[in-house]
Structure 1
Amino acid sequence: MVIYQKMFKKLSIKNRIALIYSFSFTVILGLIFGVLFFVVKNGVNQVMYETLNEEINSHVNFVLHEPIFKSYVPEREWEEVEHTDLALNPVFIAIYDNDFNLVEHSPNLVDPKFQWKKNQAENTPYYTEVNSIKMLMSQAQLIHHGEKVGYVIVALSTKHNQLALEYLETSLMFIFPIAVLLIFIVARYSASNSIRPVFKIIDTAQKITETNLNERIPLPKNKDELFQLSKTINDLLDRLELQIIKAKQFSADASHELRTPLSIIKGTLEVLIRRERKQEEYQDKIQYTLQQVDRLYQLVEQFLLLSRTENNSIKIFKSTFDLKEEITNCLVRFDFLIKEKSIKIVLEGLQPMLANNSKEYLGIIIDNILSNAIKYTPIHGSIIISCYLKNNKYHIVFQDNGKGIQPEFLKELHERHFRVLDEKSHDISGYGLGLNIAYKLAQLCNALISIQSTKEKGTEVTLTIDSFTD
Structure 2
Amino acid sequence: MSLASRLSASFLAALAIVLIGFSAALGGLAVHHLYRLIDERLDSALTTLAAAAEVGPEGVEWEPGERVLGVGLDAGADQIRWVVRDARGRLIDQSPNLNPRRLPIELPEEPPAGRLSGRDGRPWMVKTRRLTVPKPFQEPVEPLEPLASGRHAALILVAYAPLGPTEATLSQLGLTLLGLSTVLWLVAAAVNRRLCRRGLAPLTEMAMAARDADAEDRRERLPVPKTGDELEDLGQAFNGLLDRLHETLQQQRRFTGDASHQLRTPLAGLLGQVDVVLRRDRPPEEYRRVLGIVRHKAVHLQQIIESLLFLARTEAEAGRPEPVVIDLTAWVPEHLEAWSSHVRGTDLKAEATDAGPLWVRVHPLLLAQAVDNLLDNACKYSPPNTPIIVRTGRQADLVSLTVVDQGDGLSPEGQARAFEPFYRAPEATRRDQRGVGLGLAVARRIVTAFGGRISAQGALGQGSRFTIELPIATVPPAVHDDPADPQPVVTAVDVPD
Quickly name the TM-score band, shorter chain normalised: 0.5 to 0.7
Q: State the partner residue of 2:259.
A: 254
Is contact 1:309–1:441 with CA below 8 Å preserved after alignment? Answer: no
Q: State the partner residue of 1:5.
A: none
CA positional deviation for 1:296: 0.9
1:40 matched to 2:39? no
Q: State the partner residue of 1:384.
A: 386
Is contact 1:137–1:153 with CA below 8 Å preserved after alignment? Answer: yes
- SS class of match (1:382): coil
The 1:347/1:173 distance shift into structure 2, 3 A limit, reads: closer
Q: State the partner residue of 2:45.
A: 55
- SS class of match (1:64): strand
Is contact 2:118–2:124 with CA below 8 Å preserved after alignment? Answer: yes
Is contact 2:409–2:459 with CA below 8 Å preserved after alignment? Answer: yes
- SS class of match (2:386): strand
The 1:247/1:365 distance shift into structure 2, 3 A limit, reads: same
In 2, Cα distance between equivalents of 1:218 and 1:110: 79
The 1:317/1:39 distance shift into structure 2, 3 A limit, reads: closer
CA positional deviation for 1:178: 2.3
1:124 matched to 2:113? yes
1:26 matched to 2:16? yes
Is contact 1:139–1:151 with CA below 8 Å preserved after alignment? Answer: yes
1:276 matched to 2:287? no
1:90 matched to 2:69? no
Q: State the partner residue of 2:268.
A: 263
Runs of 5+ unmatched residues, structure 1 = 1-10, 339-344
Is contact 2:447–2:454 with CA below 8 Å preserved after alignment? Answer: yes
The partner residue of 2:64 within 53, 67, 72 is 72
Is contact 1:405–1:420 with CA below 8 Å preserved after alignment? Answer: no
Please list, as runs of the form range in 1=range in 2, the aligned pairs for 1:418-429 lying within 5 A after superposition.
Answer: 418-421=423-426, 425=430, 427-429=432-434
- The answer to which structure, 1 or 2, has the higher relative contact order (CA under 8 A, 6+ apart) is 2
Cα deviations across residues 145-196 of structure 1 (Å, max 9, x unaligned)?
Answer: 8526998765544454344233223313323432443454466567667877
- The letter for the 2-side match of 1:117 is E
Cα deviations across residues 11-44 of structure 1 (Å, max 9, x unaligned)?
Answer: 4454345445544543553354345334423432
Cα deviations across residues 355-412 of structure 1 (Å, max 9, x unaligned)?
Answer: 97755345435544554466557xxx73334668787998776556xxx457666635
Cα deviations across residues 407-442 of structure 1 (Å, max 9, x unaligned)?
Answer: 666635724334344698354332133344456656
Is contact 1:94–1:153 with CA below 8 Å preserved after alignment? Answer: yes
Cα deviations across residues 304-355 of structure 1 (Å, max 9, x unaligned)?
Answer: 44456988856355657764564453354x5xxx5xxxxxx58369699999
Is contact 2:46–2:159 with CA below 8 Å preserved after alignment? Answer: yes
Greater shift after overlay, 405-414 or 347-356?
Answer: 347-356
**What is the TM-score normalised by the length of structure 1?**
0.64
Q: State the partner residue of 1:329.
A: 338
In 1, Cα distance between equivalents of 2:122 and 2:264: 109
The 1:61/1:199 distance shift into structure 2, 3 A limit, reads: same
In 2, Cα distance between equivalents of 1:104 and 1:465: 105
Cα deviations across residues 183-242 of structure 1 (Å, max 9, x unaligned)?
Answer: 54466567667877875775576467753688579598457xx99988998887787667
Is contact 1:96–1:151 with CA below 8 Å preserved after alignment? Answer: yes
In 1, Cα distance between equivalents of 2:447 and 2:325: 14
Q: State the partner residue of 1:290.
A: 295
Aligned length in residues: 432
The partner residue of 2:418 within 402, 414, 417 is 414
Q: State the partner residue of 1:3.
A: none
- Quick one: percent identity of the two aligned structures? 16
Please list, as runs of the form range in 1=range in 2, the aligned pairs for 1:217-256 lying within 5 A after superposition.
Answer: 221-222=228-229, 247-256=252-261
Is contact 2:456–2:467 with CA below 8 Å preserved after alignment? Answer: yes
The 1:57/1:252 distance shift into structure 2, 3 A limit, reads: same
The 1:364/1:407 distance shift into structure 2, 3 A limit, reads: same
1:300 matched to 2:305? yes
CA positional deviation for 1:260: 1.4
In 1, Cα distance between equivalents of 2:288 and 2:3: 75
Greater shift after overlay, 179-188 or 307-316?
Answer: 307-316
The 1:346/1:140 distance shift into structure 2, 3 A limit, reads: closer
The 1:318/1:251 distance shift into structure 2, 3 A limit, reads: farther
Is contact 1:92–1:105 with CA below 8 Å preserved after alignment? Answer: yes
- SS class of match (1:40): helix
Please list, as runs of the form range in 1=range in 2, the aligned pairs for 1:175-214 lying within 5 A after superposition.
Answer: 175-185=180-190, 188=193, 206=211, 210-211=215-216
The 1:447/1:325 distance shift into structure 2, 3 A limit, reads: farther
Is contact 1:92–1:155 with CA below 8 Å preserved after alignment? Answer: yes
Is contact 1:53–1:123 with CA below 8 Å preserved after alignment? Answer: no
The 1:145/1:300 distance shift into structure 2, 3 A limit, reads: farther
In 1, Cα distance between equivalents of 2:53 and 2:66: 9
- The letter for the 2-side match of 1:29 is L
CA positional deviation for 1:297: 1.6
| RMSD across aligned positions (CA) | 5.6
The 1:199/1:121 distance shift into structure 2, 3 A limit, reads: farther
Is contact 1:138–1:154 with CA below 8 Å preserved after alignment? Answer: yes
Runs of 5+ unmatched residues, structure 2 = 133-148, 395-399, 471-475, 478-497
Is contact 1:330–1:366 with CA below 8 Å preserved after alignment? Answer: no
Cα deviations across residues 37-84 of structure 1 (Å, max 9, x unaligned)?
Answer: 34423432342243234324422442224999694244443xx4x655
In 2, Cα distance between equivalents of 1:24 and 1:263: 74
In 2, Cα distance between equivalents of 1:33 and 1:233: 46
Is contact 2:102–2:118 with CA below 8 Å preserved after alignment? Answer: no
